[in-house]
Structure 1
């Protein structure tokens, strides 16, 4: 008789750090309403980077263990019990997600520069114009942002890369990424993203793969910083 084993879940770094914070709350005797140590101090205690710590705190905020109050700190919302389950997976790490996008889309945009057509350029310009108009109306230009990146992926001529660009972009709808967006995205960050898209477009118009690659990676690195911080 064959034995079927349950697949072991690969735990993301933010889940592991969130479990450590939960243990710290328990050992430290924190009660409901107590504020946790400042971010810098907490990162040092746990021996982790501040972006990874922020992801873990967001995960705990999503599940209700802590409450993050802008400009005030992180407060215990529900003190954990010893039998508390491990932190659930809430999607890919936003930091790792943006790093993966930078690596992939840097290559994609370089390929796209060799396959520029008037129709593709017109579509990219329409995406940038659409972003500008939506921002002017103080509305989130997410769909134009998505279409800009997908159009470049289509221009590359590589269907596998195109599929991966779609999958990575759409992972921004995961619970952890959605929570980060709700906290840190605003018209100021979208205006910065618009200028970065314009730089990418200008490099593609010039058929300059090195400039386009640099502009794309700079954009996604800046997006990572705006999302999670350095």
Structure 2
């Protein structure tokens, strides 16, 4: 099956579908190692974050297996297909970029328009997040309350459902699997420190600082996901092109 350049619409899903087709036609044998993320990105003509999202989607579907320190391998076929509930959702990196664009400006608006009473629930969410980090328990609820509280502090009621929708849209199966792989106590502490920095800018009524602090926070999350994904796999080396995978598979079986 020849390689095809994919289009920029639900990119990670198109990549996942093409890799699924290659697996189904035997280009990649069950148990074989997939080409490196870097090589897949080059051959498909897409970004590495999009490849990461596709591979995690395939892991959720049970089509590939992530082996720590070894790479991504084609999983043995399952008797029942595993549905991917995230098919219609944007990928995590696309989602984080949308939040970077919107929530940076929302934070700036909140810094300009927030009243003292608007900051009370935002402070409370930071305190609750701190308590949960200390107990090493999930911080999602307090994290969501923090971001939605900032939207309310703009006094633009149209922005609140926008942030709520973005937050909920991004918490799909792929995001959950990424957190399963990468979330650590250190990363929760880093998120807490980011939130404190944003709160400081809101309290100072510093619109520019609030925008920068919010964008720094979302940039850091994206960087950490990328860094930990790289650490999850072995050091990447050049691999055989996709169109030669079947030939390579035959030599491995001899």
**TM-score (norm: length of structure 1):** 0.85
Kept in 2: contact 1:91–1:176 (CA 8 A): no
Cα offset for 1:78? 4.1
Kept in 1: contact 2:119–2:153 (CA 8 A): no
Matched residue, 2:172? 174
Cα offset for 1:121? 2.1
Deviates more, 1:189-198 or 1:29-38: 29-38
Cα offset for 1:224? 2.0
Matched residue, 1:40? 38
Q: Secondary structure at the match of 2:72?
A: strand
Distance of 2:16 and 2:85 partners within structure 1: 7
Which of 211, 214, 220 pairs up with 1:222? 220
1:143 lines up with 2:141 in the alignment: yes
Matched residue, 1:209? 207
Cα offset for 1:39? 1.9
Cα offset for 1:69? 2.0
1:105 lines up with 2:103 in the alignment: yes
Cα offset for 1:87? 11
Matched residue, 1:74? 72
- C-alpha RMSD over aligned residues: 2.5
Per-residue CA deviations over 1:58-101 (Å, capped at 9, x if unaligned) read: 11111111112232211111469xxxxx9971521111111111
Structure 1 unaligned spans of 5+? 1-9, 81-85
Which of 93, 96, 103 pairs up with 1:95? 93
Distance of 2:34 and 2:136 partners within structure 1: 35
Kept in 2: contact 1:66–1:74 (CA 8 A): yes
Matched residue, 1:20? 18
Which of 112, 115, 128 pairs up with 1:114? 112
The runs of at least 4 aligned residues of structure 1 exceeding 6 Å deviation read none
Kept in 1: contact 2:86–2:174 (CA 8 A): no
Deviates more, 1:114-123 or 1:23-32: 23-32
* Alpha-carbon spacing, 1:28–1:50, altered in 2? closer, same or farther (3 Å): farther
* Alpha-carbon spacing, 1:228–1:167, altered in 2? closer, same or farther (3 Å): farther
Residue correspondences, number: 217
Distance of 2:136 and 2:169 partners within structure 1: 24
Structure 2 unaligned spans of 5+? 1-7, 79-83, 231-254
Matched residue, 1:162? 160
Cα offset for 1:202? 0.7
Matched residue, 1:128? 126
Distance of 2:147 and 2:204 partners within structure 1: 18
Flag the structure with more relative contact order, 1 or 2, with Cα contacts below 8 A and sequence separation at least 6: 2
Q: Secondary structure at the match of 1:138?
A: coil
